[in-house]
Amino acid sequence: MKWLLYALGSIAILIVLLALVGAMLPKTHTATRQIRLRQTPDAVYALITAPADWRGLQGVEQLPPANGRKRWKEIDGHNQITYELIEATPPAKMVTRIADESLPFGGTWTYMISTDGNATILRVTEDGEVRNPIFRFVSRFIMGHTATLDKYLTAVGKKFGEPITIED
C-alpha cells in the first residue's frame, strides 16, 4: 500500500514540476520549415488551398464565413479545430488562423510559395501560442515546435509523389 502512495505522490510531484517549468516558458513561439518541390507555384497553391483530405484527416467541414472570412473545421483523431483564412494571395501566400479560442493552443500559419531555379519552395511559418503550461512543456521539450510543420510538409511531398528534405 505504501508503494502505491509513493507512486501517486511521485506522479503528482512530476505533474507540478512540468506545470512550473511550462509556466516559465514563453506562451508564444515561431517556427519555420520549408521544402523544395518539382511543381509549379500554381500546383502547390492549389494543393494547400484545396480540401485537406490528402493529409489523412478524418474529415473537413466547411463552415459559414465569419466577419467575411472563409472558415472550416478539420477533424483528426485527437481534435476538431476551426480555422479561418486571413489572407490569400495566389499563388504566393496564404495565412490561416486557428479560430477556436477555447483550445489550449492557437496561432497562425503563413504559407509562402516562391521559386528557386527549377524548384518551387513551400515555406510555412507557425506563429503559435500555447496557453496551457503543461501543453507548453510538451510542445517545447517532447514534441518540438516543428512537429506539426514537419508532418504537414511530409504529407505535401507524399501527395506530389516526391521525396522531400525538410529545411529550416
Q: Note the pLDDT of residue 9.
A: 83
Q: Note the pLDDT of residue 22.
A: 79
Per-residue model confidence as pLDDT tens for the chain (168 residues): 788 888 888 888 888 888 888 789 899 999 999 999 999 999 999 999 988 878 888 889 999 999 999 999 999 887 899 999 999 999 999 999 999 999 999 999 999 999 999 999 999 999 999 999 998 998 889 989 999 999 999 999 999 999 999 999
Q: Note the pLDDT of residue 64.
A: 96
We report the CATH number of the domain holding residue 79 as: 3.30.530.20
- The pTM score is 0.90
CA atoms of 97 and 107, how far apart (whole Å): 6
Residue 22 falls within a domain, yes or no? yes
Three-class secondary structure of residue 13 per DSSP: helix
CA atoms of 31 and 61, how far apart (whole Å): 27
Q: How many structural domains does the chain have? A: 1
Residue 41 falls within a domain, yes or no? yes
Residue 168 falls within a domain, yes or no? no
Determine the structural domain holding residue 14 and report its residue range. 2-160
Q: Backbone phi, then psi, for 62, in 5-degree steps? A: -75, 135
| Residue 153: CA count within 13 A, CB half-sphere | 27
Residue 78 falls within a domain, yes or no? yes
R_g of the chain, CA atoms, integer Å: 19
Beta pairing partners, 126: 31, 109
Q: Note the pLDDT of residue 103.
A: 92
Residue 42 falls within a domain, yes or no? yes
Residue 166 falls within a domain, yes or no? no
Residue 165 falls within a domain, yes or no? no
Residue 167 falls within a domain, yes or no? no
